[in-house]
Structure formats: structure tokens, C-alpha cells
Amino acid sequence: MTPYQLIQKLRIEREELAQIKIGFAGRLDPLAQGVMLLMIGDATKNRKDYLNLDKEYEFEVTFGVSTDTYDQLGFLKNKLVKKLPDNLEEKIEKFVNSKTGKQMQQYPPFSSIEIKGKPLFQWSRENRLSEIQIPSRTIEIYNFELDNVKIIPPSEIQKTLITNVASVDGDFRQMETLEKWSLFFESNKIEYLSVATFNINCSSGTYVRSLANELGEILGCGAIALSILRTRVGKYSLRDSMRL
């Protein structure tokens, strides 16, 4: 759900909030889940205090594929699964250990930052990225850990992918994306795909799907964020959150 959908659902579930001003701080990617800060009444006046809080995420990355959005919602860049490198887990660990600290991160091509009055994702959709320079920003990764690497049958990933992509509201090229993924799974007769799970504590503005893409480029096989769960924003954790 978008922040606006969350607010509408909250108004329905809590009738006493129906006429009270409600705002939000920060967004999530269309396929991401987790903690979203909603401010009620006078708290909306302090929105800026909540915008740059540190974040924690748990996210999954699958290897051998890449997309233009760095996650499931994008167009595939390869028709066939790419071969994974030897010693995959060791190389993932090396990447994780190299990423802590302050660094520059380029905005993903499909993001909402505006360039020359137009969202970056619109430049991407129009195939006009060559006309602009994609900006970067300083981020900081405080802690980054590889939890595990496992193998999952493609059928399981396909089932989850179809459900997730179809559930997204708005114009995100869903039908075309699902068609391309369907062809991909038909073309690749493989027994499993490798999936790694990570935990990260980072500054506001960090794109974990960009980390997934960067890891895939370093490994030479491609990678996308398969799932993203935001478990904490500042002092506000998932376990203390109201579920909508």
C-alpha cells in the first residue's frame, strides 16, 4: 500500500481519526513492506523531525537475473539465467564487509527524485537517461550482515512474484512485466535459484535494491531485490507497529 492508502485504511479502522489530519514521513518502494511513520493531528507539524531517521531492513536478493528497477517490478535485462560464480557465499561476504561506512550511492534509475522538473523514473521510461546525469547522495551503512544463502525452486519465486506485482496499484508497467517474467520462467529449465538474506542498519536515503544490483554487477551474474522489509525507523520498530 502507498502511504495514502495506509492513511485511508487507518481512518476506516479508527473512526475517531476520520476527521483528524494525518501525515506520513518517508516512503517505501512499491514492493517493500514494513514500518511507515504516520503522524496524527499536531504531530504533523513536526514532520521534518522524522524524515531523516536511520533505517533497518531485512531483504532478500536472488542471483542470475537483473532488471531495470533492480527488483521484481522491472523489465528483465537477460532472457536466460546467468551462471553464478564459484564460492558465491564467500564473495557475497567480501562485498558485505566492504560496504560499511560513508559512501556515495547513485539514485536508481526508477526513483522519484526530480531532475529538470521530471521524476527520474519518467526519464527512464522514455529511454532518455543519456540526456541527464543521474545524481548521487552520501549514505552511511552502520552494520551489514549476510544472514544465509539458500536455494529456492523457480516455481516458488514465480508464484510469489505474480502475486506481488499484480498487487501493486498505479502505473508500474505491471502487465508487461508479468509477461516478460512468464517468458523468462518458460525459457529457463532450472531446478533452483540462489537467494541470500541480509540485515542492514543504514542512514536515511539508502536504497537496498541498489545494493542488490551493485552486488550482482560485481559478481558478474546480476541480482535483484526479491523482498524488502523495513524493520525499524529511528526508535520505531516493526514489533511495536500497528498492522494495517
Question: Annotated catalytic sites, by residue?
Answer: 29
10 Å Cβ neighbour count for 100?
Answer: 15
Q: Which three cell numbers stand for residue 67?
A: 532488471
Residue recorded with cell 534509475:
109
Query: CA–CA separation, 183 vs 180, rounded Å?
Result: 5
**Cα separation values, 171 from 122, 124, 166, 176, Å:** 11, 14, 11, 11
**Cβ proximity of 6 and 244 under 8 Å:** yes
